[in-house]
Structure 1
Amino acid sequence: MADFPKLSPSKLLQRLTPPKRKVRMVLDTDTFNEIDDQFAVVYAMKSPEQLQVEAFYAAPFHNQLSTGPQDGMEKSYNELLTISSHLPEMSGIPVYRGSGSYLSGPDTPVESEAARNLVERAMASTDDDPLYVVAIGAITNVASAILMEPRIIEKIVVVWLGGHALHWPTTKEFNLFQDLHASRLILNCGVPLVLIPCLGVASHLLTTLSEVKDYVKDKGPVGEYLHDTFEGCSKDHVGYSRVIWDLAAVAYLIDDAWLPNELVHSPLLSEEFRWSFDASRHLIRYVHYIHRDSVFKDLFGKLG
């Protein structure tokens, strides 16, 4: 069993206070899995007044778009490079390959460039300038880094789009259920955590092809790329909308007022992917709603 450092209650509350200044961040993303990751990458890069993006990490995923987590990670890595070719702001920002598999046990990290870089980058952080780790895929890379060097718990804040709302009957959400060991570690180890659920919360972030045509398509090469990606996600866009889930994690660091939130005790995650609760556990920050219009208005304005 790994020995994790425990932050004092005052330090934990300080880290869980939404930032009101520009922050350093890395983005851990399964970029090829969905069309929302591309929007999140662009949103982060178009927000230099609020965010200093230091690195991108390719996360594993396994569904109909990949033959396994290794293939999903490689496709995500290559998709980050593709986005970079459309987005000059990404020039010079390193992109690292992440885990090629999920955690095989609760104490066994997966070796990767991404996890090693996260350890190095986090350990170089000062006490008054933590590194924000924005994770919008399976949390394997981040959990592996914590297992490799538990002291980074004292140096980082994790903002994770994972699971469903705490009142949802099941939390078998794609990011969370791919790697049960990693998901449990993030919830249990005491790292300062901002949890943004999918169904019931990020599911408010719906948009349509008509809106993307009006406010994204003509915003340069990256706007055209995002539009074409959105258009290609469905054969029939009549009466169709799509959730751009991953914008939520970036938007929290830009203006948390758009994402009403509260302090709650970190939930327990069962093997059946259900939440349960224990008031003796450490606190996390939990987002319970999103003002959808504010997020999209900010994104569309920055694309211009």
Structure 2
Amino acid sequence: MNYPALSPEQLLQRLEPPKGKVRMVLDTDTFNEIDDQFAVIYAMQSKDKMEIEAFYAAPFYNHLSSGPKDGMEKSYDELLKIMKVMGKDGAYPIYRGSEAYLPGPHTPVDSEAARDLVKRAMASPDDDPLYVVAIGAITNVASAILLEPKIIEKIVVVWLGGHALHWPNTKEFNLYQDLHASRIVLDSGVPLVLIPCKGVSSHLITTLAEVEAHVKDKGEMGHYLYETYKGCSEDHYGYSRVIWDISTIAYLNDERWTPSSLMHSPLLSEDFRWSFDSSRHFIRYVWNINRDSVFKDLFNKL
């Protein structure tokens, strides 16, 4: 597959952390975990830093779904539920995403979400890229790139995917579900901000007591998040939970909370391990997260 290539100067410019307000879409497997709900609401409450243009439901397959299509449909329904809780019915376009993972390295899975992403990206001015924030399997985004490779010149992808580069493997749920899609995003040259899970976003731990103290009393929205967190375990004694997905929103809110570096895009092996080649294009890699600053911002915005 031949992808359009940004010049080194253009790529580095796109990989600079945004200084002002960005236009963004949020691609989320919202029903899969409890952290997507926090991330969706955190984004909606960060109006000074991001203008949300659309939400996309991403596929997922685990004990909460009967397959990728069912996971995507449940995520779509959960997005509608969040809008109702927030009193925002109809305020944002919400699109169904892929019903399956990519069947091969060059075969997209067509969907409303992928088509909308292509349309929005291609309509973006050259000096105002669309930020594509992805907090699930990257199928919708990779499909859009395959449908119209020129969007590489129009977007910046911020993806919570894989584990830290020093981890023994990168068999992380978002990345592991769709090997072909993950490789497309890493190999195509699309401007990419990679935020790993274990070793980086795993710092974003909270407890029921903290959520009760700082979230529960924030109206219907706070009660919804509190009950969502409470329902994730039958026993909260000495228990904590990682709210991974808010890392992507934190990056757009304040780069100081998510220290990062430029590095060559890693290679992803068949057995889900990282390897490295210094001749490859650059990405931005987030290597740490200031947990307290992120949660303070989240709690304040609720």
Q: Distance in 1 between matches of 2:62 and 2:197?
A: 18
In the TM superposition, residue 90 of structure 1 has moved relative to its aligned partner by 6.1
SS in 2 for 1:133: strand
Contact 1:45 1:90 in 2 (8 A): no
Q: Distance in 2 between matches of 1:286 and 1:203?
A: 15
Unaligned stretches of 5+ residues in structure 1? none
Task: Answer yes or no: is 1:152 the counterpart of 2:119.
Answer: no
In the TM superposition, residue 91 of structure 1 has moved relative to its aligned partner by 4.1
Q: Deviations over 1:75-119 (max 9, x none)?
A: 000000000001135642010000000000000000100000000
Q: Deviations over 1:37-56 (max 9, x none)?
A: 00000000000000100000
Q: Deviations over 1:12-33 (max 9, x none)?
A: 0000000010000000000000
Q: Distance in 1 between matches of 2:229 and 2:89?
A: 21
Q: 2:127 maps to what in 1? A: 128
Q: 2:175 maps to what in 1? A: 176
Q: Distance in 2 between matches of 1:91 and 1:119?
A: 22
Contact 2:164 2:199 in 1 (8 A): yes
Which aligned segments of 4 or more residues in structure 1 are displaced greater than 3 angstroms? Answer: none
Unaligned stretches of 5+ residues in structure 2? none
Q: Deviations over 1:221-279 (max 9, x none)?
A: 11100000000000000000000000001110010110000000000000000000000
Q: Which amino acid aligns with 2:3?
A: F
Q: How does 1:1-304 map to 2 (within 5 A)?
A: 2-89=1-88, 91-303=90-302
Q: Distance in 1 between matches of 2:265 and 2:169?
A: 16
Provide the aligned C-alpha RMSD in A: 0.6
Q: Which amino acid aligns with 1:57?
A: Y
Q: Distance in 1 between matches of 2:89 and 2:37?
A: 13
Q: Which amino acid aligns with 1:169?
A: P
Q: Distance in 1 between matches of 2:88 and 2:49?
A: 14
Contact 2:80 2:89 in 1 (8 A): no
Q: Distance in 2 between matches of 1:3 and 1:266?
A: 17
Compute the TM-score of the two structures, normalised by the length of structure 1.
Answer: 0.99
SS in 2 for 1:284: strand
Q: Distance in 2 between matches of 1:197 and 1:208?
A: 21
Compute the TM-score of the two structures, normalised by the length of structure 2.
Answer: 0.99
Q: Which amino acid aligns with 2:207?
A: T
Q: Distance in 2 between matches of 1:74 and 1:221?
A: 24
In the TM superposition, residue 3 of structure 1 has moved relative to its aligned partner by 1.8
Q: Which amino acid aligns with 1:79?
A: E
Q: Distance in 1 between matches of 2:11 and 2:110?
A: 28
SS in 2 for 1:88: coil
Q: Distance in 1 between matches of 2:91 and 2:167?
A: 41
Q: 1:55 to 1:90 in 2, by over 3 A?
A: farther
